[in-house]
Amino acid sequence: MIKNYSIIILLIGSFFFQQCGNKKQTGNEAGDSTVSEQSSTGSMNANVAMTGRLAALGLTPDSDWRGINLGDDFAKVKTTEKAELFESDDKHAGYTVEFKNLESADILYYQTNQQVSSIEVDLFLNNRESVGECQRELGSYFDARYGPAKAANGITTWTSKAGHQITLKDVSKGKDFGLKIKIASNGGVMTASAK
């Protein structure tokens, strides 16, 4: 009788360890595919953690912002961007996104020669704590994508391998809390929005 229990326990233990090994292998395979995807884009590090806030912003591991890359045809913005269009002219298109927590983002896509030349994002946040959390999450995301940042005069800057410059700045004043993100070609024109 004890021999039968020993065999059953041995089989259950073997099954358990085999399943754990399969999960580890599956996790590693997913990591490997992420690394190879990142290597092909040349912009993403395997350590990117996509938090709920970053996912709500629409960030992806394979685009500069919400499925749009600098250099894309400007027409792609209108077919890809799912946010609400609030302004559009020959030079740019502006979209707004509202989040469940009453925070929002305005995204301005600028174009030169019918190609996306820069992207500006204004994040309107609820309080100082939200600014800090968002700044840390975006900082980690950009660090993983573009490498270590340089900070000067209250602006954090990353430079991609493709020569794009990404800046993040806390623009909070008084009871108005927010962050501004700019993505543009290095040496390219960083446009100024009216906001």
Q: What is the pLDDT of residues 83-117, one digit of tens each?
A: 999 999 999 999 999 998 999 999 999 999 999 99
The predicted pLDDT at position 11 comes to: 43
The full set of domain ranges for the chain reads 1-41, 52-185
* Cβ contact 103:146 at 8 Å: no
Backbone angles phi, psi at 186, to 5 degrees: -60, 125
More confident residue, 11 or 36: 11
pLDDT at 124 over 60: yes
Q: What Å distances lie between residue 83 and 43, 87, 98, 117, 172, CA to CA? A: 25, 12, 9, 19, 24
Query: How does strand 92-98 pair with strand 115-125?
Result: unpaired
Average pLDDT, the chain: 79
Query: How does strand 115-125 pair with strand 177-185?
Result: antiparallel
The predicted pLDDT at position 22 comes to: 39
Q: What is the mean pLDDT of residues 123-135?
A: 96
How many angstroms separate the CA atoms of 27 and 65, rounded?
27
Q: Is the dihedral of CA 18, 19, 22, 23 positive or negative?
A: negative
CA torsion, points 175, 101, 122, 94, in degrees to nearest 10? -130
Cβ neighbour number for residue 70 with a 10 Å cutoff: 22
Please tell me the pTM assigned to this model: 0.72
Cβ neighbour number for residue 115 with a 10 Å cutoff: 15
Q: pLDDT tens, 145-193?
A: 999 999 999 999 999 998 999 999 999 999 999 999 999 987 554 444 4
